[in-house]
Chains A and B, each alone.
Chain A
Amino acid sequence: MKYLLSRLAQALVIVVSIAVVVFFALRLTAGDPARLRAQIFSDESVLDQYRKDFGTDQPLYVQFFRFFGGLLRGDLGTSFRYETPVTGLLGPALLNTVVLGALALLLTFLLASLLGTLAARKPGGVVSGISSVIAVIGQSAPLFWVSLLLISLFSLNLGWFPPGGFEGPQSLVLPVIALTLGLLPSQMRVLNSSVRQELTEDYVRTARAFGLSETRIGFVYIYRNALLPLLTVIGNDMGVLLGGVIVAEVVFNFPGIGSLALTAMNSRDYPLIQGIVICAAAAFVLINLVVDLLYTVINPRVRLGGTR
């Protein structure tokens, strides 16, 4: 319990410091959101009105306390561009992004478990060969290029899936495949090497001696133990997943956080950018916390908060 509290505090510190850094990085540098929002050649009085509405005419410390006060009440401010509360804009986009990311993560996890385990049991075999090829492609071919190729093949030539937008579950297929290919290599590699490590353990020999089937040993006994390093990597890879989701959303024109982020950036929509960054950082930190807590569920021998 004490451990959980200290971890939560640590997570809070990370998110708050990121929020502060982002706030100042945006305000202290060039670019006047009012000028971008107003029509070109607008009168100075129009610009001043916008600045007043945005609050960017106030001194920096006033803006900062306003932003921070809002943050404490769960209010992320009002978007400059859309002129609606940021929280209202983030909600639906976040949901779409989470669905996309979660599906990709799930598919990656299943494939990594299957391929990693099978490849470790038969090094030099067919599965092992296939998974190394997938690993090299996944690491060197950029996600956006893979996405373009998928669109070109499956939607423009074969017409199986829509090339972009969000028209229902079939719109998710191609982005999920592209994301999975990018995430798969590191997870597969880690599971593979930890399965290999486990294969040398005594309990595997004992299980074999008892006449258990190789499939049962591999997927029930070894898998459970080999899962811990994989979890660490999933936590570390959350950044990769988040970045990947943004790219996939842009290429597939998918209405999520990533598309929103790029529009926000182009219009210097400070509150919206801050909201997105805070959400992203919070998601990353929370998922890593959950991963650490899951350790104890999967392997009760792990005691958190002890000797670190």
Chain B
Amino acid sequence: MTGVPLNWTSRRRSALADRFLLILTAAVLALLILAAVVGPLLLPDPLTQELAARMVPPLTPGHPLGTDALGRDVLSRIVSGSRTSLFVALFGVAGSLLVGTVAGLLAGSSTRWVAWLIDRLIDVQMALPYIILAIIIVSATGPSLGVLVLLMVLAGWPSAARIVRSITMAERAKDYARAAEMIGASGTRVLFRYIGPTVRPVVLTIAPLQASAMIVMEATLSFLGLGVQPPTPSWGGILLEGKPYLATAWWLTTFPGIAIALTAAAMLGLGSSLESVLRRRRTRRAQDGAPAAPDRTEVTDAEAITL
């Protein structure tokens, strides 16, 4: 793989700007999570239909973002939709990184056929875009939250695995790994006990980037009717329901979209600033004494984000 920095603007950003972006995006995300946790307790019920107040425009008292065709409060629906999105993204990322890390370590293993098998699995998975995958799985099992999380894991693991594999390959050639092998440590022990911890920082920086992509994917699937089903509010679902009123009720299609874009952008910013902060720390440490370690984040290439 060609080494391509995750975010090319980060090369030019100053340390201060990175720190600022990190704090800003972390704050935005913290607010979003807070809203998702306590919001539904304070806001009107997102499922209550108020037929006298249907299609009320934004900034009406009691309905700051208006209501939908059934008279349900849009702000409440967006806030409780964020629970769905964050839930799916959280479990999706956890699963995808877990599977991806294990698969990546195994793909870098010295047992020929294991590495071959994992490589082929990655190929097969990459050839199936997540929407096609969703069509297959949902037509087989029907839509549900569990299926959604499973889809996220399936969509996310190959890119994580490829990155972990390339680090594993590089680490395996190093002295400590060879020394461990030489004193008789088993292949799995070398992979999981000694090489495993070295991939952790990179895996952590991919996490927010994958989460960002998963927020967008979940919304897309729910919009296509393959994800969260009505009446449970989800960002994609609100947009789907608002689509017929595109010409008359702009707020139904505008606000949920902003929520998705804002969340995804914040996660993206968090990932890229985290990456440069960590890279800086590593270079500093390298200057302090030990011979400069190769820039490991170089392997996190663009595919981390394009699932």
Q: Which residues of A contact B (CB under 8 A)?
A: 10, 13-15, 17-18, 21-22, 25-26, 28-31, 123-124, 128, 132, 136-137, 139-145, 148-149, 151-152, 156, 185-186, 189-190, 192-194, 196, 228-229, 232-233, 236-237, 239-240, 242-243, 246-247, 250, 258, 261-262, 264-266, 268, 273, 276-277, 280-281, 284-285
When the two chains form their complex, are residues A13 and B120 in contact, meaning their CB atoms are under 8 A apart? yes
Indicate which residue in A29, A144, A232 contacts B141 across the interface (CB closer than 8 Å): A29
Q: List residues of chain A with CB within 8 A of the CB of B262.
A: 140
Q: Select which of B124, B136, B253 is within 8 A of A26 by beta carbon.
A: B136
Interface string of B1-14 (1 = CB under 8 A from A): 11011011101100
Instruction: Return the contact of B127 from the options A136, A233, A239 (Cβ within 8 A).
Output: A239
- Near A by CB (< 8 A), chain B positions 107-130 give 120, 123-124, 126-130
Known: A22-B136, A145-B260. A156 touches B2 (CB 8 A): no
Beyond contacts A15-B127, A258-B131, A280-B128: 20 other A-B pairs, Cβ-Cβ < 8 A, are A25-B136, A29-B140, A30-B140, A31-B139, A124-B12, A139-B268, A140-B260, A140-B262, A142-B220, A144-B239, A149-B254, A152-B250, A190-B301, A262-B135, A262-B225, A264-B139, A265-B135, A268-B139, A277-B136, A284-B127
Q: Is the CB of A148 within 8 A of B239?
A: yes
Question: How far does the Cβ of A244 sit from chain B's closest Cβ, in whole Å?
Answer: 9
CB < 8 Å neighbour of A193 from B4, B139, B305: B4
In the assembled complex, the CB of A275 is this many whole angstroms from the nearest CB of chain B, namely 12
What is the CA–CA distance of A268 and B139 in the complex, to the nearest angstrom?
6
Q: Are A261 and B132 in contact (CB under 8 A)?
A: yes
Residues of chain A with a CB closer than 8 A to B120's CB: 13-14
The residues of A that contact B212 with a CB separation of less than 8 Å are 139-140
The 8 residue pairs across chains A and B that have the minimum distance between CB atoms: A140-B264, A29-B140, A145-B257, A140-B265, A243-B129, A239-B129, A243-B131, A265-B139
With a 10 A CB-CB cut-off, give which of A132, A144, A192, A233 has the most chain B CB atoms: A144
Residue B216, interface by CB 8 Å: yes
Chain A residues in 8 Å Cβ range of B126: 236, 239, 284
Interface residue? B261 (CB, 8 A): yes
Residue in B2, B131, B247, B253 whose CB lies within 8 Å of A247: B131
Out of A128, A148, A193, A240, which one reaches B129, CB within 8 Å? Answer: A240
The CA-CA distance from A280 to B265 in the complex, in Å, is 30
**Contact of B137 (CB < 8 Å), options: A25, A193, A258:** A25
Closest to A274 in B: B136
Nearest A residue to B246, CB-CB: A152
The residue on B at minimum CB distance from A240 is B306
Considering the complex, give the chain B residue whose CB is closest to the CB of A235: B126
Instruction: Tell me if B246 and A148 are in contact (CB < 8 A).
Output: yes
Measured CB to CB, the closest approach of chain A to B223, in angstroms, equals 5
Residues of the B chain whose Cβ atoms lie less than 8 Å from the Cβ of A277: 128, 132, 135-136
Give CA–CA (A30, B205) in the complex, Å.
39
- B12-A151 in contact (CB<8A): no
In the complex, the answer to whether B123 meets A141 with C-beta atoms within 8 Å is no
Contact A152 B137 (CB under 8 A): no
Closest to B306 in A: A186
Report the separation of the CA atoms of residues A29 and B138 in the bound assembly, to the nearest whole angstrom: 10
Interface membership of B302, Cβ < 8 A:
yes
B130-161: which residues lie under 8 A (CB-CB) from chain A? Answer: 130-132, 135-142
| A18 and B12 form a contact (CB under 8 A) | no
Could you tell me the distance in whole angstroms from the C-beta of B207 to the nearest C-beta in chain A? 16
Q: Does B200 make an interface contact (CB < 8 A)?
A: no
A285-B5 in contact (CB<8A):
no
**1/0 per position for B229-260, CB-CB distance to A under 8 A?**
00000001001000100110010011011001
Q: B190 an interface residue at 8 Å Cβ cutoff?
A: no
CA gap between A142 and B12 in the complex, in Å: 28
Distance between B205 CB and nearest chain A CB, rounded to angstroms: 16
Q: Are A136 and B265 in contact (CB under 8 A)?
A: yes
- Closest B residue to A152 by beta carbon equals B246
**Is A280 touching B129 in the complex (CB atoms < 8 A)?**
yes
A14 touches B123 (CB 8 A): yes
